[in-house]
Structure 1
Amino acid sequence: MGLKEIRLDGLTGLANRKTFDLTIREWLEEKIPFALILLDIDYFKKINDEHGHLIGDEVLMHTASQILAFSRSEDLCFRYGGEEFGILVNHGNIQTAVQMAEHLREAIAAAISPTGSPIYVSIGISVSIAGAADVKEIIEMADKALYQSKTKGRNRTTVYKKEQDG
């Protein structure tokens, strides 16, 4: 993808949703194996309500900087929308993605945040299996895993497993 095509999120400086959509399609077409990490800031509405939207924006920028710090140069870090972010882990398998996600989750919780209190994130992970899934399916799998993390108490990482569809 040419640099001119890369579009960034205005607030966080991460790739935006359009760049994510283009990149994930391209990697699937080129059969580049990857993992998708989706993460959501826990109780973000409460942060905005208690601290105001300017602090909320600072929390988003703080989270984005942590995501960049814990990813590799070949990965694509993006803002999916609202308080949801992601990393496309280039040539990433489950082990790589889980290790990256856990280090990131722990670092975000340990960092001094703009609110003065710890920030927690819930994470879902899916993996492309050499052409076995389409874009929509890979995103849905990571989304289901993210939902599991939220329903099981938040501040955790869940890897998508087929039985979650039941």
Structure 2
Amino acid sequence: MIESFGILASMLEKVGLAALVILSYRAILRSRWPDLWAGPAIGVLFSLGAAITMIDPLVIGPGIVVDIRVVMVGLAALFGGLWAALIACVVAVAVRIFIGGAGVLPGTVSIVVAALIALAFVRIRGSRRDLGNLALLGLAISLSLSSVLLMPFDFVVNTAAKSLPALIVRNVLGTMILGYLLAMEERREAEHKTFKQLAERDALTGLSNRRALEVLERRNPNQETPELFCVIMFDLDHFKTVNDTHGHSCGDVVLARFAEIISRRIRGSDLVVRYGGEEFCVILNDALLSNAARIAEDIRGQLAAEDFANGVTVTVSAGVAQSSENEPSVYTVIKNADKALYEAKRNGRNRVEIHTE
């Protein structure tokens, strides 16, 4: 009985040490790697975790060691899928063979069996990370303990049988503790991404808000050879009248539709920002002033031809400006485009004006 508690205490200590894996897992979640590489990266992470726990294992007999390698392999399958489980399994097997001893064969078999059981478990139960599912996963991978039958009979009866309850509890608690902490990191990261998206996106139109311009300005410092770009500033004509006459719901439809018209006309490399209530800013990368003016005119014409509910029609005025080597700042060009926009308004609205020095 005392021996079982000793095994359990030692394994819980390893769980605490292995929890450092969480820091690396957070880095993977916050990286910009394609999804194709997320699984292998998680596999490498859990394989390193398995190797770390195998460096200083609990020795219960000559060449017979126990650790939480199967927990790492099981969690690799749950959090990273097939490739993660495969990588963790291969590395853990390699480390176990390198360590050597009388338990090499059953140790290797237990790792492979744990990986297969974990993958089958995820296939059947899904990738839920709640405590109940984690506990079931811990119980499932404990079936890998059957590999001890490959050991001599007297060892199985006198040593392994006594340690079996503690080893099962080790697997369950290890999977629950590490799995729950990793799941918490996932939830935090998901909330972080959601809040970040809400902070950077306009809820009505789905376009970027003015924060995107701050990011763009930081990415375009005063360089020796700055990349030239154009800015189009749009302002819906008499939009307050639309809201007052037909209601804000109609105004929202107009804003959403105008955002759609702009998005369909520009390239994927360009940026559309809802600059204010009815103001929109378009950043055209590597564009000539004449091309930017033509795009603005096309967008103006499309909106003017749009027929909203109850025969409502809306027009838009636009101002266009281009950056220069002397004026590489986004905000400077926006200011120039804004001057051209007000010129368009003074000249009767529903038109495009180009900023000239």
Q: TM-score, normalised by structure 1?
A: 0.88
The 8 Å contact of residues 125 and 159 in structure 1, kept in 2 or not, is answered as: yes
- Are 1:18 and 2:211 counterparts? yes
Deviation at 1:127, TM superposition (A): 0.6
Change (3 A) 1:129 1:45: same
Of 223, 236, 241, which aligns to 1:46?
241
Q: Give the equivalent residue in structure 2 for 1:86.
A: 281
Q: Look at both structures and tell me which one has the larger radius of gyration over its CA atoms.
A: 2
Please give the secondary structure, in 2, of the residue aligned with 1:81. coil
Q: 5 Å matches for 1:1-166? A: 7-29=200-222, 31-114=226-309, 116-162=311-357
Unaligned runs of 5+ in 2: 1-30, 33-192
Instruction: Flag the structure with higher strand content.
Output: 1
Q: Which has the higher contact order (CA 8 A, sep 6+)?
A: 1
Instruction: Flag the structure with higher helix content.
Output: 2
Moved more, 25-34 or 72-81: 25-34
> In the aligned structure 2, how far is the partner of 1:46 from the partner of 1:97?
29
Deviation at 1:66, TM superposition (A): 0.6
Unaligned runs of 5+ in 1: none
- The alignment of Structure 1 onto Structure 2 pairs a total of residues equal to 161
- Percent identity (aligned): 38
The 8 Å contact of residues 59 and 114 in structure 1, kept in 2 or not, is answered as: no
Deviation at 1:136, TM superposition (A): 3.3
Please give the secondary structure, in 1, of the residue aligned with 2:261. helix
Deviation at 1:9, TM superposition (A): 0.8
> In the aligned structure 2, how far is the partner of 1:103 from the partner of 1:24?
27
Change (3 A) 1:155 1:28: farther
Q: TM-score, normalised by structure 2?
A: 0.43
The 8 Å contact of residues 220 and 329 in structure 2, kept in 1 or not, is answered as: no
> In the aligned structure 1, how far is the partner of 2:227 from the partner of 2:216?
11
Moved more, 107-116 or 53-62: 107-116
Change (3 A) 1:157 1:24: farther
